[in-house]
Structure 1
Amino acid sequence: MVNAITFNQTHIAQEELEKQFGEKVQHIHKQMIEGTSVGAEFLGWKQLPNEIDQEELNQVLATAEKLRKSADVVVVIGVGGSYLGAKAVQDALSPYFGKHEDNPEVIFAGQNLSGTYMKQLLQHIDGKEVAVIVISKSGTTTEPAIAFRILLEYMENRYGAAMKDRVVAITDKSKGALRELANRSGFTTFVVPDDVGGRFSVLTPVGLLPIAVAGIDILQLLEGAKDAVKEYTSSELSTNSAYQYAALRNHLLNEGYNIEILASFTPNFATFHEWWKQLFGESEGKDGKGIYPASVAYPTDLHSLGQYVQDGRREIFETFVQFKETTANCAIPTTEDNLDGLNYLSDKTMNEINDVTLQATMQAHQDGGVPLIHLTVGKKDAYHIGYIIYFFEMACAMSAYLLGVNPFDQPGVEEYKKNIFRMLEKPGFVEEK
């Protein structure tokens, strides 16, 4: 299947968009193909869905099966790209209440420094069979490293030598603190590829293993991404909707719209918004440039942020993600007294009303002066989530290059860490003058 996403916008004519960005897009596309673009050493994600090692994929599936059989709870430790992608896919494709049948509960740690969170996590897992997946390229990133130190002590105290069969490390292939510990302890390990940055790593073992443990079909996830690779190979702006989205974002920025709001009417897609925000925020927000990525979960946020979107400062544009097919629905009953006045809806379903609300919201916001982008996705399943992941990755890289920044570094992330090390008096830390 191709064309799993339909891209629509009414802000600028396609001919004008091509006139502004067509040649630039072709030039950047050529550089990415030739490996001459800035940050090209981190373009490994571009062909990843087609080039993933089959032996490694089989090992991911086998390890996921082992963890599903041995654990009631699997704790995934990571921060940023080491957890957001996995959690985004898991939340989007899991039941709203409970978990996938016959699969362990997957929970996350290392993405915050709350002692209350960690204490309650330890209380939650006590008495259950537990496994841990720790994800870190270096093993020394503060937030996940602290969480792993605490959970490793818990696992050692509870399982003794058998602990090694319940801990999986996803880390650098040859160096770093976590690699050294994993080799010494005999943990099962997977590699964080050198040519794939964290926020682009969801289709590597970083994301695939936790997603598979949750009972989600990672083969279908990869199949969707593979078809997206085929779809977005063209350098022509007129035929590549991922590049159209990237160009349109830059056009809107040039017109003064410097905030993009990702909006959806699907509650369990909200964590995907967070992955999207990291993807674009870290890739574009540097050198004093970038579009600020924000998000809303409608219709909930129509009753809070909706007022600002409708009538506030005209510096925002919205990208709506709509899933056309749904897996379940609920009818509206009829009542005799009709006290709430809703009998006029009794021939409709909740999903029908949700879709009408989406269309009404788009119309209202466009009438209020908000430029709109509408991405229609066939269905919210593993295949289409894999497809839209790749769509956004490709669009993000092109958008950042059009902006004139390296999509794959994040120098600003280090600044707060330096302050932490200084304030906590980390041994050996010397601040550069």
Structure 2
Amino acid sequence: MSYKIAFGNISFKNNVQIQKPEKKDNPSPVVKNAQPLAKPPVSTLLAYVTYRADSKNAGEVGVKFFNTLSVEQMKKQYGELAQKTAAELAQRAGKPNQVLNWIEVLPQTQVKRLDEIYALADSLKQNGSKKLGIIGIGGSKHTIENLLSLTGNADKAVFLSAVDPDSIDDFVKKLGDPQKAAVLVASKSGTTLEPSVDFEAVRKALKDDFKNYVCITDKDESKSKLRQLANKNGYKCGIIHDECGGRFGAFDDHTLTALAYCGMSKDDMKKMLEASLKAQKQFLSGDITTNKALQRAVFNAHSVLNGKQNQYDYYFSGRFEGTALWNTQMKKESHKSLYKVSGDLTGPAFLHNSTEADLDEGNDSSFFTFNTIKNAGGEKYKAYNALINGSLKAYSERHPVALVELKDLSPSSIGEFVELKHFEAMYTGMMLRALKSKDAQTEFKHPDVLPEVVQPHVGIYKKEVEKILKSTP
């Protein structure tokens, strides 16, 4: 699909679109060309955080914006592009060779396979195991970390992705009694260096008679050395589905099996998958006034086009520890060098290691997203809410800030939150490439496969490592 980009008050200079300054009586002294913050109607921090609720936020996750465009301004300046971008993604979803089967196809498939997934997880417990060892790297690891963390089950698993002997030894020790160990290894092809080395080392440590492994890999034995190994040795197997992509495979077998093992009920998993499907339908809409993923993408793209090259996601809860790892990969692999992903940090620790630089008067190139969890307030949440709202006030007086707030940590909220991150990543990359393209004033056409779902440059380091391994006696 090709289309012209001509809308709002975007001009073009040296193939990059620059936001034309709007005439204002009182322009912001800090963030140029962005909407100045409205003064809160009452002098309370809580009123400050709830004041700019100009996004129509029906659902489990709310989005608000500060010191940037309002949603109405987003619609005026980027609405046409947003609509076309959503349509582009929708018409590709479900088609062969698009790496987009995580849209509708995967969650629909998994809802039907819940009994199979729980049987696989239960099989790992038959020897009395209490902690799950997980071998994987990249999306095969971070998707699990994200959902175990959000569901409060992070302490029920131990991960291995490093290949140094000390890390491998520590992993085996954390498994506990070798007779009661349980290990899940995830690799689509079974040839990725790190999990291959780790699995071989763990198998040697646990001895040949240990069989309590689950190998999550390609369903086709001819395409997976891991499945060949599993079939030869009688290990149980699950599936990494085709055309889902590691970081977008949040609801593939490796993650769902880990969640099932670590305590998520089948009913809750079904609710999470159903919420995912519901959110996907909402996020495929071309209406930017209701599509929160499009709003988040416009916030990101508009910030970058106005000179904000350093992007940060900050998380106000330990439950987001895994999210920070997963979302960093999501942005870096999806957006390449479109802007600088400066870091995803879990708070309030970042307030003591980053704020000095963030709020320095010379810092005019950053934009932020605060990720939080809604609560009932009161004495119990007094410090938590003060940290969120005080930080929001301080940061948004200097920088563009978006606030993403989960209604709670229910399966439905988690399902929608995951999809918000998925679709935000897709739309941000698609919009920025369109806006920065030399063809932006004529006919812009996305490539055959969207760059947001592939990572060709990862192979560069792999080739060099393979050369060294082959040349080393």
- Secondary structure at the aligned position of 2:304 is classed as helix
- How far 1:58 moved relative to its partner? 1.3
Partner AA of 2:390 in structure 1: A
Residue 279 of structure 2 is aligned to residue 225 of structure 1: no
Change in 2 beyond 3 A, CA 1:52/1:38:
closer
| Residue aligning to 2:170 | 120
Change in 2 beyond 3 A, CA 1:95/1:153:
closer
Among 195, 199, 214, the alignment partner of 1:168 is 214
Q: Aligned ranges for residues 47-196 of structure 1 at < 5 Å?
A: 47-48=104-105, 50-70=107-127, 71-94=129-152, 99=155, 105-109=156-160, 111-128=161-178, 129-157=180-208, 160=209, 163-164=210-211, 166-174=212-220, 175-196=223-244
- How far 1:31 moved relative to its partner? 2.2
* Cα deviations by residue, 1:107-147 (Å, 9 ceiling, x for unpaired): 111x2223211112223334251111110011111111111
| Residue aligning to 2:78 | 21
Q: Distance in 2 between matches of 1:211 and 1:36?
A: 26
* Cα deviations by residue, 1:208-266 (Å, 9 ceiling, x for unpaired): 11121111242232233133124323111122011110111011110111222111221
Residue 399 of structure 2 is aligned to residue 370 of structure 1: yes
Q: Distance in 2 between matches of 1:31 and 1:39?
A: 15
2:75·2:289 contact (CA, 8 Å) conserved in 1? yes
- How far 1:86 moved relative to its partner? 0.7
* Cα deviations by residue, 1:12-35 (Å, 9 ceiling, x for unpaired): 132332233222222222222222
Q: Distance in 1 between matches of 2:363 and 2:309?
A: 11
Query: Runs of at least 4 residues of structure 1 off by over 3 A?
Result: 36-40
Task: Name the stretch that deviates more: 129-138 or 19-28.
Answer: 19-28
| Residue aligning to 1:343 | none
Partner AA of 1:423 in structure 2: I
Task: Name the stretch that deviates more: 250-259 or 28-37.
Answer: 28-37
| Residue aligning to 1:388 | 417
- Secondary structure at the aligned position of 1:143 is classed as helix
- Secondary structure at the aligned position of 1:168 is classed as strand
- How far 1:185 moved relative to its partner? 2.1
Among 321, 345, 348, the alignment partner of 1:296 is 345
Q: Distance in 2 between matches of 1:422 and 1:351?
A: 55
- How far 1:91 moved relative to its partner? 1.9
- How far 1:283 moved relative to its partner? 0.6
Q: Distance in 1 between matches of 2:90 and 2:291?
A: 15
Name the TM-score, length of structure 1 as normaliser.
Answer: 0.84
Q: Distance in 1 between matches of 2:339 and 2:171?
A: 37
The alignment's C-alpha RMSD in Å is 2.4
Name the TM-score, length of structure 2 as normaliser.
Answer: 0.77
Unaligned 5+ segments in structure 1 are 100-104, 330-347, 428-433
Among 384, 392, 395, the alignment partner of 1:354 is 384
Change in 2 beyond 3 A, CA 1:40/1:422:
closer
**Paired residue total:** 391
